[in-house]
Every structure is written in structure tokens, then in C-alpha cells.
Amino acid sequence: MAQIDSGSKSSRLLASRRYTHDTLTTAQESFTNVLDLREEEIYTQGSYIPSSGLPFSGSADVNQTHTVSGSSVLKYWYRHKLTKSDTNNEVWFFLDPAGSDDGVGAQLINDNQEVNFVSPKYAVSSLATSTVEDTTPGYLAVLYKSTAVSQSAQTSSLSSGDKISTNDYIFDYKTGVVQFMNSSVDPTDSQYVFMSVYQYTGTTLSTGVDIRGDISASNAKFTSVDISGGTISATLSGALSSSVQIESDISGSWQGYITGSGIVSGSVQIEDDISGSLSQGHLSSKVSDIVSGSIQLASDISGSLSQAHLSSKISNIVSGSVQIEDDISGSLSQAHLSSKISNIVSGSVQIESDISGSWQGFITGSGIVSGSSMASSAQGQVTLTTNGVAASAVDLGLQTTDSPTFSGLTVEGDLTAQQYIVSSSVTYTTQSFSSGSTIFGDDITDTHQFTGSISISGSYLGTSLVSGSGQVVSLLPSGTMSGSAQLPSGTMSGSGQLPSGVISGSSQLSQGFGNISGSLTSTGSFGKVLGDGSDLENLPSDPSSIAMAIVFGG
């Protein structure tokens, strides 16, 4: 009997034939299941592998992972250093971390061996020959060999001239093993090999099952069920045939609950399908917080269910007024409502005005406004802030550009104005009273005009008021002065300053003026000169020039 050659071994896998005798043809051999696949070799998230638009393609994406629905599906390896066999340079392994430069054994699988790389079969046909480093990448691995670099990790120092033709090697994407075709293309002892490739990192049959469709089973058994963030819904038809089945078939404690429509269709079903009695002890021990004690059974279950029981045990039991008409008989008075719900109804008047008909009121209560403040955001404006929210500023009409009108104004402090107008009409008179002095002007060149008469009840004082009596007469109206005695002392330096008619006789000169000093030259003649007996002064040195009679003492 001859040996089965390797070709027959390959046909066994591809054709699923048993191959028992070399004398039998392929058509004579039986069909059988010959593939021996481990659970970790079967991808359960293979549908998440993108067939186009691959996410990574360059040095910036070293060791990046692609995630779908929260699961890591792909990892991108960029120019990772491979480890050769210690037998020769023909076989290289994808180890992480890389092994010794002297090589590793080829007969046993190394603990650092990386597997499950993604081949071009997962890409669309247009990307069948596109490499993982192309601008539009595919899944075809890229292999380099070089003597210039020997890093144990990824490197970007490789050039396009270092790239190995796909005709020179075979890469097993499943096991991560590279085999060069012959010694003529094998790397030399001084060369190192690097690879860029995608690796599948999703779940396998041993780590998880990702099912997008429904699961249908005629008989399912779960030893443990753990649902995170989801639910299990099922229809249990005929699950229990009798109460005996519960005792015999179900052991342990129930920690969950069963929900679904049609579990109990009516009270008749309870009578027909469940035998025996359900005591308070059974109910309280199995379902927490349903029955608190025998007293509750006596007061709340037996007999009628009063309004007090209903409101104290079940909140929000009434959803609308229609439900009250259909489900609750009898009347609900204002007294009942106000005694059970505080601050809802304060009196019958409120019922008539606020409840009957349309809603006419509003809701008030503490906490609606937690705080408010009023502040002036600018002169003439005020802003109200409620619960930290500021409203628009209100203009009060008191800004510097406004002209407000007041019926009265009292100023406690100073009043300063650029222009003070008492009244723009001559029909108004204004009186100003002050206990102090009033000053008009601050310079001698200032001019103050008065229209009408000026009445002075006190003194009339001034410095350099007039330079002579002529100014007095010119300033005063006619008849103001009846004589020189009315002039203040020192106003006149001589009688010539008085106008004609001011002094009517010599007797007026002695009233406040004293004697008249000075000389009088005349070409006329005097009858006589009367004196008081004193000496005459300032007479000419030539007595002959005096042609008059001098009489002393009468």
C-alpha cells in the first residue's frame, strides 16, 4: 500500500473526502467533515471588519485600534520587526515583542506569536491589490528587508527600495508566519525583516458571540444568565401544568420577575388553575411590602375600602376628573378635600371663583421667588433682579439730558446750576430773602443793569464812588439834593464843583464844609471885606494892588 501524498492531503481538506485507500479514486471516497477548527479560530465579529474606507495607513497610526459598537475589531501594525527561525533565513515569525536576532525554534509555537491577521479577502474587489500603506489602503500586507536598520520596534527609516515583492514570499494571515520562496530571495544574515499589516482583535467563539438577528430554540437551558443594560422577554406557554410541578421541578429561590401580557387573563383563571388558599403568611413572605401584617388585612382588605385607606396607601390613583365619575361613586366635599390636602382649598368661596368654569387665578407659594433686588444700573435708570435674573433697565426720565417738571422741590443741600432762570415772563415777580450779605460780580469792570427804581433802606457805601460833585448831580435825578450839606465830607474840594443853584446861600457852606480856602481874582471892585478879626493870608506882596476897603470887626 502506497503512502497518501501531500496532494491527497490537500484534497481531503478542500473536497471534504475521507481518503482511505490509494486504490480508490476521489469519486469513490466518502464525504466527511474533516476540518478541525478550534473555537478561538472562528470570528464572531467578522461583519464589523470594514471592506473599504480603512481607518489607518501610515506611521502616525502605529498600534492604533478600530472600534465598532464599543468593541475593538482591528489593530494596525506599522513596520513591525519579525523574528527569523533559528534553522535558516527562510521562515520568519510575527512575535510581539520580537525575539532574539539569532532566531527562535520553528517546531513549537512561541508564546509571543501573533495570529488572526486580516487578509485582502475582507476588502472590496477594487482594493484587492492595495497595501495597508497605500493612500487608499487595502488589507495586503507590506514586507521590507534592510541592513540599515535593526530596531526591535516600528521604524520609518525604510525606503521603497527595501520593499519585498509579493512573488518572493508567502504570508499565512492566520498563523502569522512568513516563508520565502527559495534561498535566492531569502534575507541575508545581516538583513532584518519588517511588516505592516492589519490584525483582527474582535471576539471569537471562545470569547463572545455577537448576534444581530433573533435566536430561536425549541429547548434552551441556561445555567447562568447575566444581562447588563438589557432585558430578556419570552412567552411561556404551558410552562406550569399544575402546582405539583412547582414543587418537583423548580428548586432554589427566584430572584427576578416575569413580565408580559396574557399571563393572567382574569380572576376565573386564578380559580381554575390555582388550587388551595393563599394566606397572608404566604403573601407577605414571598412578596415584600405587599402585606405588612394581619392588622392590615383586617382593616384594609376585609369589608369596604374607604377614602382614608385609598389616599393613604396609593399615591396618584386618580388621573383625571373623568375617572372620578366612572370609578368613584358618592360625593367629594370641600371639607374632605381641604382636610386631606393642605393649602389646596382655603374655603368655599375659592371653589366658586377659581375651580368652577375657566381658570381665573394663578399659582402662588413659597419658593416661587427666592430673592429679588433693585439697583440703579445708570443715572436715571433702575433694574429689577429676580432669582438672579436681571430684567431690562427702566428709564425714570431723570438723566442729564432729560427736562423733568416737578410741582414742588425741596433741596436739603446745595443747589448748583449753570443758569438760574426765575421766570421767562415779566408778569411774575420774585422775592429772595437772605439773612446774610449778597454779592454781585467779582470784578470792577462788571456791569449790573436794573430796569425800574432802586429803593435802599440802609447805607449806600462805595469806594471811589464819584470824583466830584458834578458826577453826583449827573447821576442823580433833578431835585435829589437841596443843598451841599447833603453831600458827604470830602466829596468836593471847592465850591466850583457845585453846579449853579446847588447852594442858595452862604449859610449852607458852614453846614458840614467848614471855611472856604482859596483865592479869587477879579477886575471889579468890592465895597468891603468883613472878617472875624483874624489875619488875612495869601495877600499880594504889593498892597497897592488891593483896591478895596478892609474892615475888621465891623
Domain boundaries, position 83: 40-200
Mean pLDDT, to the nearest integer, of 328-352? 58
* Strongest mean pLDDT among 26-30, 191-195, 408-412, 479-483: 191-195
Is residue 181 in some structural domain?
A: yes
Is residue 552 in some structural domain?
A: no
Mean pLDDT, to the nearest integer, of 426-431? 55
pLDDT for the residue numbered 326: 59
| Integer angstrom CA distances of residue 425 from 405, 421, 428, 431, 449 | 17, 10, 6, 15, 18
Is residue 282 in some structural domain?
A: no
30 by DSSP, 3-state: which? Answer: coil
| Average pLDDT taken over every residue of the chain | 73
Q: Are 75 and 44 in the same domain?
A: yes
Is residue 389 in some structural domain?
A: no
Q: Are 78 and 192 in the same domain?
A: yes
Is residue 184 in some structural domain?
A: yes
Q: How far apart are CA 538 and CA 518, in angstroms?
A: 9
pLDDT greater than 50 at residue 40: yes
Q: How far apart are CA 343 and CA 106, in angstroms?
A: 88
Is residue 375 in some structural domain?
A: no
Q: Are 12 and 95 in the same domain?
A: no
pLDDT greater than 70 at residue 507: no
Mean pLDDT, to the nearest integer, of 490-495? 56
Q: Are 46 and 9 in the same domain?
A: no
Judged on CB neighbours under 10 Å (0-12, 13-18, 19+), 123 is: buried
pLDDT greater than 70 at residue 281: no
How many structural domains does the chain have?
Answer: 2
Q: How far apart are CA 257 and CA 262, in angstroms?
A: 15
The β-bridge partners of 179 are 91, 170
* Strongest mean pLDDT among 143-152, 378-387, 497-506: 143-152
Cβ atoms of 47 and 213 closer than 8 Å: no
- Name the band, by pLDDT with cuts 50, 70 and 90, for residue 512: very low
160 against 373, higher pLDDT: 160
Q: Are 30 and 116 in the same domain?
A: no
pLDDT greater than 60 at residue 551: no
The β-bridge partners of 17 are 31
Q: Are 3 and 83 in the same domain?
A: no
Mean pLDDT, to the nearest integer, of 478-507? 57
pLDDT for the residue numbered 24: 76
- Name the band, by pLDDT with cuts 50, 70 and 90, for residue 102: very high
- List Cβ neighbours of 90 (8 Å cut-off, separation of 6 or more): 179, 180, 183, 186
Q: Are 28 and 101 in the same domain?
A: no
Q: How far apart are CA 413 and CA 12, in angstroms?
A: 117
465 against 243, higher pLDDT: 243
Using a pLDDT cut of 90, give the percent of the chain over it. 28
pLDDT for the residue numbered 553: 44
pLDDT for the residue numbered 297: 52
Lowest mean pLDDT across 152-166, 496-510, 524-538: 496-510
Is residue 540 in some structural domain?
A: no
Q: Are 111 and 158 in the same domain?
A: yes
